[in-house]
Amino acid sequence: MKIGFIGLGHMGAPMALNLIKAGHALTVFDLSAEAMQTLADAGATRAATPKAAATGAEWVVTMLPAAAHVRTVLSAEDGVLAGIAKGVTIIDSSTIDPASAKEFGALAAAHGNAFVDAPVSGGTGGAAAGTLTFMVGGSAALYESVKPVLAGMGKNIVHCGETGTGQVAKICNNLVLGVTMAGVAEAMALGEALGIDSKVLGGIMNTSTGRCWSSDTYNPFPGVIETAPSSRGYTGGFGTDLMLKDMGLATDAAKSVHQPAYMGALAQQLYQAMSSRGDGKLDFSAIIKLYRGEKG
């Protein structure tokens, strides 16, 4: 199928490459000439604008940093909506707030196009391996229709409900992730200070009620899980600044529906403290440094 793909960053580039491998014909756009070149080398056609990428496409996929970028890419004079054919579906895999997702859905509908929000989990590793999870917001029929496209980039394609609910699922999951990581960091550092061996503590936690992904797969204490970023200097995982963005989306979403978000708001400030001391590029599990007296 002919796919217009816009946004070739750390996530977008490997996703687009997988679509090519899956046999699709891609026309791509990104502000970075280098990123464009990589995709062109793999067989994609370069477009000069989002409009050009969307022109003639049977599907349009966007993978962008924030809602403001999606808005511009869709609505600008040389944007997607200026080029896309009526009836074509736009798949936005960016992580953005649910309200903006709904707004883009309405915008697309007014233009005669369908729109699904389909944020991902799985990180750059999952993007490269084609094993991402997609959380899809849109009607059941739309969900069925986008599955073949998403199957080229991921393994697990989940229908979350109407437009926006893909973002809701992503945000709520990452809220839990940000909170549990802070909690595990706090407890592992406390255990160390109280004199228990950290591998022993990790082992107990992981077979007991404290069990969680932040402990059994991604434990923030170095050496407990050999494959975790903590065991390689907190490099190469999910950056603190990205977690901070997601915690901001969660507390903003909570504000929008008048829900308190005590734990998330506090965890957000702790990641903020990491960012403000210059540790924003480290994996988010480096939050344990705040508890172990390691300076930024």
Of 13, 35, 84, 135, the residue at the interface with its own copies (CB under 8 A) is: 135
Scanning 17-25, 76-84, 141-149, 173-181 for contacts with its own copies by CB under 8 A, the matching segment is: 173-181
Contact call for residues 177 and 214 (beta carbons, < 8 A): yes
Report the site for its own copies in 73-102 (rule: CB under 8 A): 98
Give kind and range of the element (H or E) at residue 93. Answer: none
> Rounded to 5 degrees, what angle do the CA atoms 127, 101, 73 make?
75
Report the site for its own copies in 24-53 (rule: CB under 8 A): none
Mark 256-295 with x for binding to its own copies (rule: CB under 8 A) and - for no binding.
-xxxxxxxxxxxxxx-xx-xxx--x---------xx-x-x
Could you say which of 2, 21, 51, 170 is catalytic? 170
Beta pairing partners, 156 = 133
Instruction: Report the alpha-carbon distance of residue 9 to residue 19 in Å, rounded.
Output: 15
Question: What are the Cα distances from residue 59, in Å, to 15, 86, 220, 236?
Answer: 14, 11, 40, 32
Burial class from Cβ neighbours inside 10 Å (0-12, 13-18, 19+) for residue 13 reads buried
Helices 98-110 and 165-193, packing angle to 10 deg: 160
Of 79, 183, 219, 224, the residue at the interface with its own copies (CB under 8 A) is: 183
Scanning 14-22, 49-57, 141-149, 192-200 for contacts with its own copies by CB under 8 A, the matching segment is: 192-200
196 binds its own copies (CB under 8 A): yes
In the complex, least distance from residue 37 CB atom to its own copies, rounded to whole angstroms: 33
Question: What are the Cα distances from residue 97, in Å, to 76, 79, 214?
Answer: 20, 21, 24
Of 109, 200, 232, 235, the residue at the interface with its own copies (CB under 8 A) is: 200
79 or 280, CB closer to its own copies? 280
In the complex, least distance from residue 6 CB atom to its own copies, rounded to whole angstroms: 26
Concerning whether 170 is annotated as a catalytic residue, the answer is yes
Would you please indicate which residues are annotated as catalytic (active-site) residues? 170
